[in-house]
Amino acid sequence: MKGNKFIALLAAAAARTPVAAAGLAFGFGRAMLLAAFVLLFAPVAGAAPLRIVAIGASNTYGWLISDQSTYPAVLQRMLREQGVDAEVINAGVVLDTTSKMLARLDFAVPEGTDIVILQPGGNDLRFFGSKEQRAANIETMTRRLEDRAIKVIVYDEEIPRQYVWDGIHFTPAGHTMIATALLPRVMALISRRPDGPPAGGQAGRP
């Protein structure tokens, strides 16, 4: 009842003052436009970032260097400089072999991951594993991830000696070199999306 009396009083005031009525209508229209704008763009603002997981051993973990100097951290910064809202998770474990990476794969790569960077390292051969088993483990991990609709980049290149400080582990410059090499490969996967990112725009998931 009180609501009806208020509406009646408001209508009467509007009838006596046409200018006030016009102002009221204009204000209501602006409020409706603002509400529509918020509803339209809210899903974009809350969109999840591109999620990348880097799996490897000590050279992914970043042996004796700062967290921000590791190639996953450097790659994340590079992607964001390209306008890609990306989160690169460092899942490196010191002394890991490809068999151990395979054993923890499902745990290390959570649901919602878009891309995995697999850096298998050289511990298999250091710990008396075989090249054949190493290759088989890499193939199994790749297939298992692709079965989950996750894109896979295997980074298994030889690293020049100037980027290795003890014959095994990468220097900060080595990590930057790896991130630089990975950047175009990640961008290529993103651009293959059906709704690939516009030039200079923010990219989402592949």
Averaged pLDDT in 10-residue chunks for the chain of 206 residues: 49 49 47 46 61 98 97 98 97 98 98 98 94 98 98 96 94 98 97 53 40
Q: Which two tokens stand for residue 62?
A: 């970043």
Give the pLDDT confidence score for residue 93 in this predicted structure: 98
Give the pLDDT confidence score for residue 106 in this predicted structure: 96
Three-state SS for 119? strand
Please give the model's pTM, rounded to 2 decimal places.
0.73
Strand partners, 54: 90, 117
Q: Which two tokens stand for residue 26?
A: 């204009």
Paired sense of beta strands 115-119 and 86-92, if any: unpaired
Dihedral (CA of 130, 132, 135, 136) sign: negative
Give the pLDDT confidence score for residue 48 in this predicted structure: 82
